[in-house]
Chain A
């Protein structure tokens, strides 16, 4: 070790020496240096003194011996007092899998949140198809073991068990879940449809009951059904639920056995139920029938057929004459179901309740007591026979015997009563005739609105009034009006007797041309509630007729005429004057002239029939006729040609050409030649519609000229044009649809020639050559670049929110971590 180095780093060496950190070799070197260097020696002395001072100071500050124990004690107390759940939760996050799961959850939450925000719907599995599956499962599970609820309670809504074509609904999951053992619970069966399903439902219920009897023989409760919202409730055992669930499988069998059913039914006590079973069965049925008596007779017939009898029958006639009443039928229990099925035919079933009361226990209790009492009686009799004692004893025995006999009779009576009830089920059939609540009659109020057009309003008005008086009508209102324009109109409002109303209205209708006719009916219920029915009586009330008569000034014939004439104003004046001279009425006339100098005129006149032809001739001579339409309004009265005729005259200074010709001619000196042809046109009296001249950068000269001329000057002019140069293209387009009355060969029809004169330049077309190709390539490349940039933008728009969200999560987590670390 270099001595100089020790000298330079003396502080380190000093510290190491006083804190005993020098190795033996180091110490030797150090001491050698101290021996040589006085300054370092002095420093070493000071250092040693100080070290001793520090050591002494700290030795006083050392914790007392009890320190560790104290800390440990306090720690134990604190840990026991605060079991930190948060920390244990935080500890959970130590596991990597938990972290992943949390991240996945966050991701799912983001997706779902996004879906909700964007309103995008995500498909939830529909319950419908699952339901069936659940039920099938339920059925399979339920069959081998009793607790059905474990399999069905999973379904939130109503559990539907499908049974063939009809549907049984186990309504309300709680009904099923609530009943742990089904013997005490209630299972509600619901059929959606009425009558047809009803019998099926009943069959099923019966099958159910049979099932139950055969399985455990537990008591049958009440079965109630009502049509409309047909429902039946049966308290049944869990075994019966199994049976119900398996019913679908047995449905076919049940149907097959339908014929055999009565036979099976006939022996329920012997075959199905224990022989001791004492059941009192009863039923309440309600029908709406067409006729009470017929229905009651039918029921009586069926009752007899089924070995029952009618116990009571009563009926009452209501205020509206309809009968209602009840029939009480006694029926052997085995035939009850058959009977109920049969009587469904008598009318519309409104409700049905089936009930059964199990008196087995009470019956046999009573029976046992009766036997005891009889034995008692025997013994008493025995005693009486053998007694030779005192009279008072005798009397005592006699008295006791009397009491016992009373009991016996009472019990026998009770048993007989029960026997009677068990032997015959009680069926209470309520019948009422239909339409109990119909109103007695309706009052039919009719309103007729008739609007007539008449040439002579006043005359028609008088006739209508006369007609009304003849029918003895009550005139409510009548009015005849003449307004400022000399227009006459009339209104008449009458009440017509119901018997004559139709005829009178028919006659009034012939008085003029019918413009409008409406009738309106209103039924007002009388003497009853407002239950509407078509069968109710309808009484016709007086008919109100509102008649409006207006003058009929519509022309029978209309003629439209289009004439090309120049100048328009002059022609219009001429036409107007001629029409007025012939006694026509000018309805409308106007002239317009647009900025291009094209004029248009409209004239509408109504001329008497006699002068129609004269006026039309005058109009036709005004210029070239391009269209003529004649319209007859036969609705206004056929064959009446004496009415005024409406003539609409349209005057125009311009006419669409019937023939278009496009000519393309290549020539030199375009400007010069176009000037020449224009001049030639002017000489031939041909109109130049348009002319343009253009010299393009490539040295190409283009002149466009449009000429319009009558057909007669068309051919020579085209020849003239063709002489100008080389004809490049030549198309002729003739339109003969705008038929002019002047026939195909009309020489005055206008024709139009569009001429393009152009010189041929020597310029290479734009699309070829190296530069355009390069330019095109570059522009295509630029377009592709722009497209890809746009796509990148789209991709960024897709990814960026996720990136931001993830970055945010990472940032938050790291921040939370660092915050926690700082806290520590």
Chain B
């Protein structure tokens, strides 16, 4: 973390809302990635990011070490997204709605090839455990370097490599038919 960021975080912890606001551009996208990894819904993910900052500001006094700020906000975002995800799953109407939407959705022929691929990738992603999903999302959505991802996810040094390896292996297995089609 850069020294200027640390100073900013320090000021923010002390209750300076303007400093806190300046932290938003630094962390909002990665929090978005975290939330998206869990929820797979952009709007909901944005809501979660929104809420995360507010909560982080309210409970800033819990944080003493500025170094831990990234992990701190990530935890908040993750917990919040999980709550939301649990709520979403517990409402059965959602499934029906999805089917109804499917009926009105454009037929595969009409869909662009890219949209179909995205669908496949996302569904493959959704089969992964949360941690894998998070790692992949942070890497691809935010193009974050390994070190940042490890810090965000509170992982030990070098653990990300194994995680990403297994995650991509699993995805490849799921996507094998699609990959074959692509080749063909």
Contacts and interface: CB of A to CB of B under 8 A. Distances in A.
A680 B137 CA distance: 125
B57 A79 contact: yes
Contact of B118 (A14, A60, A823): A60
Interface string B115-149: 00110111001000000000011011100001000
A760 B139 CA distance: 109
A774 interface: no
Contacts of B79: 822-824
B59 A19 contact: no
Contact of B168 (A9, A50, A68, A74): A50
A93 B45 CA distance: 33
Interface stretch (B3-11, B92-100, B101-109, B158-166): B158-166
Given A46-B172, A71-B28, A75-B50, A54 B136 contact: yes
A19 B166 CA distance: 13
Contacts of B166: 11
A68 B29 contact: yes
A94 B15 CA distance: 13
B67 interface: no
Contacts of A57: 117-118, 121-122, 140
Interface string B153-184: 00000000110111111011001101100110
B76 interface: yes
Contacts of B19: none
Contacts of A67: 28-29, 32, 46
Interface string B50-85: 100111011101000000000000011001000000
Given A46-B172, A71-B49, A63 B32 contact: yes
B162 A87 contact: no
A62 B58 CA distance: 28
Contacts of B172: 43, 46-47, 50
A53 to B, nearest CB: 5
Nearest to A92: B61
A315 B95 CA distance: 113
Q: How extensive is the interface on chain B, given as a class?
A: 35 or more
A51 interface: yes
Contacts, number: 128
B183 to A, nearest CB: 8
Given A60-B118, A63-B29, A824-B59, A54 B140 contact: yes
A49 B36 CA distance: 23
Interface in A2-46: 9, 11-16, 18-19, 21, 43, 46
A11 B165 contact: yes
Contacts of A75: 20-21, 24, 50, 53-54, 57
Task: Point out which of A21, A60, A94, A822 has the most chain B C-beta atoms below 10 A from its C-beta.
Answer: A21
A90 interface: yes
A50 B179 CA distance: 7
B42 A61 contact: yes
A56 interface: yes
Nearest to B169: A11
A79 B17 contact: yes
B11 to A, nearest CB: 15
Contacts of B57: 75, 79
A91 interface: yes
B168 A14 contact: yes
A495 B103 CA distance: 127
Contact of A55 (B46, B54, B140, B175): B140
B43 to A, nearest CB: 11
A53 B117 CA distance: 7
A68 B162 contact: no
Contact of A71 (B24, B114, B125, B162): B24
B165 A14 contact: yes
Contacts of A49: 179, 182-183
B58 A15 contact: no
Nearest to A817: B62
Interface residues of A, number: 45
Contact of A15 (B59, B114, B118, B164): B164
Contacts of A61: 36, 42, 141
Contact of B179 (A18, A46, A84, A822): A46
A87 B59 contact: yes
A373 B45 CA distance: 100
A76 interface: yes
Nearest to B137: A58
B139 A50 contact: no
Nearest to B141: A58
A603 to B, nearest CB: 105
A74 B50 contact: yes
Contact of B165 (A12, A70, A822): A12
B42 A90 contact: no
A61 B120 CA distance: 14
Contacts of A74: 50
B53 A19 contact: no
A19 to B, nearest CB: 5
A525 B120 CA distance: 120
A820 interface: yes
Contact of B76 (A11, A13, A53, A824): A824
Task: Point out which of A9, A54, A76 has the most chain B C-beta atoms below 10 A from its C-beta.
Answer: A54
A87 B28 CA distance: 23
A72 B52 CA distance: 12
Interface in A682-717: none
A15 B53 contact: no
A714 to B, nearest CB: 105
Contact of A19 (B58, B117, B164, B182): B164
B61 A90 contact: yes
A786 B36 CA distance: 69
Nearest to B162: A12
Contacts of A87: 58-59, 61
B61 A78 contact: no
A62 B137 CA distance: 11
A513 B179 CA distance: 142
A68 B55 CA distance: 17
B165 A16 contact: yes
Interface string B6-50: 000000000101001100110011001000100000100010011
Given A63-B29, A67-B29, A58 B140 contact: yes
Given A824-B59, A824-B75, 20 more contacts: A11-B169, A12-B164, A15-B168, A21-B161, A49-B183, A53-B117, A53-B178, A54-B121, A56-B118, A63-B32, A63-B46, A68-B25, A71-B24, A72-B21, A74-B50, A75-B20, A75-B24, A75-B53, A78-B54, A87-B59
Identify the 9 closest CB pairs spanning chains A and B, nearest first: A12-B165, A57-B121, A11-B165, A15-B165, A91-B61, A58-B140, A15-B164, A57-B118, A11-B169
16 contacts: A15-B168, A15-B169, A16-B164, A46-B172, A49-B179, A49-B183, A50-B171, A50-B175, A51-B168, A57-B117, A57-B121, A58-B140, A58-B141, A72-B28, A90-B61, A824-B59
Interface of A: 9, 11-16, 18-19, 21, 43, 46-47, 49-51, 53-58, 60-63, 67-68, 70-72, 74-76, 78-79, 84, 87, 90-91, 94, 820, 822-824
Interface of B: 15, 17, 20-21, 24-25, 28-29, 32, 36, 42, 46, 49-50, 53-55, 57-59, 61, 75-76, 79, 114, 117-118, 120-122, 125, 136-137, 139-141, 146, 161-162, 164-169, 171-172, 175-176, 178-179, 182-183
